[in-house]
Structure 1
Amino acid sequence: MMYKKYTAVVLAVLVLAAEANTVNKVSPVALEAAPKIDGWGESANVNEYVDNTLHMLIPFMQNNGLDPMALPDVVEGFEVRPLLITYSAWLKITNGRMTGLVNMQRSGDQMVHYFAKMVRSRIELQFTDLRFDYNYLVQVMNLGPTGGIVATLSRFVIVVDVLIDFNNDEIHLQEFSMNDIGRLRVRFTGNILTDWLVNPVLNVFIRIFDTIIIKVVEVNIRNAVVAVIGILNHNIAEIISTLESIN
């Protein structure tokens, strides 16, 4: 029946994303795990399948520069006023990287919806205990303290909404977003900053994190998702043919 093919392809997207180099191979397990739903305009809860396949995404992230993830160098100017005089200063952060993206779990119910020869799947994943490491240099009043910055983020949620259109056998990314960004904690390592520098430097780093770093993380994850969808679209005819032969 047609609904089996639709369900299997949606579920196969998760597996194939983890095995992007073998997208032309579809396991019968995906079909066997599909919920049994008849008719159009129906929905299925795929929580169990998502829970059981998330670990397959870990090698994909590790092999595609997502964990660890390289982060950009940034230079940001700011002002300090230790006494009665305001001084110009700047913070330079380098050699940044993020780790912990492999700490993921399902966020809420994961549903697959069937309608008019199309399937829409909205996957929400929560990532926890993320760590951001940087080297820093501060330049102010002929002072140039250097050291490290270790920032930890409690969580964020990634939403991926995918539409599979069997009218033309194409997969479309309907939505990609990052939300529910949790609490950020920051500590300095190495040289101890002068007391009057701690808060200004901390504030500058938090501003950089909110406006640049977290945006880079979001874009990098989105680019990986788009790349996988491109691979799947290139091979979708063969994927569907394989699934139909299984069915």
Structure 2
Amino acid sequence: MDKKYTALVLAFLVAAADANSIIQKTQPTSKLLEAGRNWGDLGQSATVNDYVDNTIDMIVPFIQKHGLDPMELPDVIEGFEVRPLLITYSAWLKIHDGYMTGLVNVSRSGDQEVNYFAKMLRVRVQLQFTDLKFIYKYLVKVMNLGPTGGIIATLNRFRVIVDVLIDFNNDEIQLQQFRLTDIGRLRVRFTGNILTDWLVNPVLNVFVRIFDTIIIKIVEINIRNAAQSGIDAINAAVKDVINTIESFN
């Protein structure tokens, strides 16, 4: 295995680490590299569960460094209608000062596999995040009433699939796929002022709609952007490493 191959694999596998972490965590990496010594152009695959289990704690500092936990969430205003008696009224819900926590509760989900073919390494990582909380303040406006309070939404889990291609032909890492999947059960409770009975379900329904169409999409975009930013930084660092190695040849 040539030096450029080793350097690029090492750089990817320590994507969330700094230079000191690279030095400290080379043992699991060396095992994966050893397993790949006989990989050829016909394509070989390997399961790397042990490596992921041993290095998953490196993801937490990456999450915190990139502002993903806690993660700021956007303000949203959504209109709706209520019918307390015989008359239908227009109303709106504003949620603001929102943030999410819980991404640090990360673990491996299923088998983690890599596949080597034509001087390219394809890595498919599946991670699970649990016990997520979405905290908001809210304002409801209807019939000159303006109840305010808080919303605490909890999500028991969601999973992330990250598909990355390490191309040794041009010494570059490419993000092939990123998506949230298997979004679990959402529970919502209101705090502060108690909403009247005829407002509770409409407000709840509006918030759930906002969550499904806006909030969870923002979470996905923010995580994807952070992952892409990390990959871009690695690509730049790898080029520096390769240039340094080649300067000694």
Would the TM-score normalized by the shorter structure come out above 0.5?
yes
Higher relative contact order (CA 8 A, sep 6+): 1
Alpha-carbon distance in 1 for matches of 2:176, 2:190: 40
- Asked whether the 8 Å contact 1:10–1:121 carries over to 2, the reply is no
Deviations 1:69-94 (A, max 9, x none): 00000000000000000000000000
Farther-moved stretch of structure 1 (58-67 vs 75-84): 58-67
Alpha-carbon distance in 2 for matches of 1:209, 1:94: 13
Long gaps (5+) in structure 2 = none
Change (3 A) 1:205 1:18: farther
2:210 matched to 1:211?
Answer: no
Residue number in structure 2 paired with 1:32: 30
After superposition, where does 1:43-192 map in structure 2 within 5 Å? 43-192=45-194
Deviations 1:37-92 (A, max 9, x none): 31321111110111111111111111211000000000000000000000000000
The total of aligned residue pairs comes to: 241
Alpha-carbon distance in 2 for matches of 1:144, 1:186: 20
Give the drift of 1:9: 3.7
- Asked whether the 8 Å contact 2:16–2:61 carries over to 1, the reply is no
Alpha-carbon distance in 2 for matches of 1:163, 1:126: 21
Give the drift of 1:8: 6.7
Give the drift of 1:36: 1.6
Alpha-carbon distance in 1 for matches of 2:236, 2:117: 23
Alpha-carbon distance in 1 for matches of 2:202, 2:114: 48
Alpha-carbon distance in 1 for matches of 2:244, 2:47: 24
Alpha-carbon distance in 2 for matches of 1:198, 1:11: 53
Deviations 1:6-29 (A, max 9, x none): 57744542423243xx49x84343
Q: What code does the residue aligned with 1:97 have? A: Y
Change (3 A) 1:30 1:16: farther
Residue number in structure 2 paired with 1:225: 227
Alpha-carbon distance in 2 for matches of 1:18, 1:61: 11
> Secondary structure in 2 aligned to 1:17?
coil
Deviations 1:198-226 (A, max 9, x none): 00000000000000000000000000011
Q: What code does the residue aligned with 1:33 have? A: K
Change (3 A) 1:223 1:233: same
- Asked whether the 8 Å contact 1:26–1:242 carries over to 2, the reply is no
Long gaps (5+) in structure 1 = none
